[in-house]
């Protein structure tokens, strides 16, 4: 969000560089405080979201590693079975 402007000046510029009535200064301070509160609330939500997202990423990474290990085991078993099948001669069973 762009800093709120009054004419060509931001609220902060008006507060510090111009002579304003105390009422107007209080109003500017209240507006800045409200905007700061909204930003702090948004930041809190973003921090919570990032923490939850990080937990999901960590869990998915753990699952991916587990699946890779299972894949390696299954691949090795398939290779072993394939080699064993190649070693079996192609002949008729004894009951024929």
Asked if the model's pLDDT at residue 1 lies above 50, the reply is no
**Tell me, what's the pLDDT at 75?**
96
Tokens linked to 67: 């699946």
In this prediction the pTM is 0.56
Higher pLDDT, 96 or 75: 75
The answer to whether residues 54 and 47 touch, using CB atoms and an 8 Å cutoff, is no
| Mean of per-residue pLDDT scores for the chain | 84
**Tell me, what's the pLDDT at 2?**
42
How far, in Å, CA of 58 to CA of 44, rounded?
21
* pLDDT single digits (tens) 22-56: 787 788 888 889 999 999 999 999 999 999 999 99
């Amino acid at each position: 969000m762009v800093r709120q402007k009054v004419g060509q000046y931001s609220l902060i510029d008006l507060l510090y560089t111009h002579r304003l009535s105390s009422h107007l200064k209080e109003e500017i301070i209240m507006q800045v405080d409200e905007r700061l509160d909204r930003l702090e609330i948004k930041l809190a939500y973003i921090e919570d979201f990032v923490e939850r997202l990080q937990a999901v990423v960590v869990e998915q990474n753990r699952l991916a590693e587990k699946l890779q290990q299972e894949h390696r085991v299954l691949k090795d078993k398939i290779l072993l079975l394939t080699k064993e099948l190649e070693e079996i001669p192609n002949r008729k069973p004894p009951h024929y």
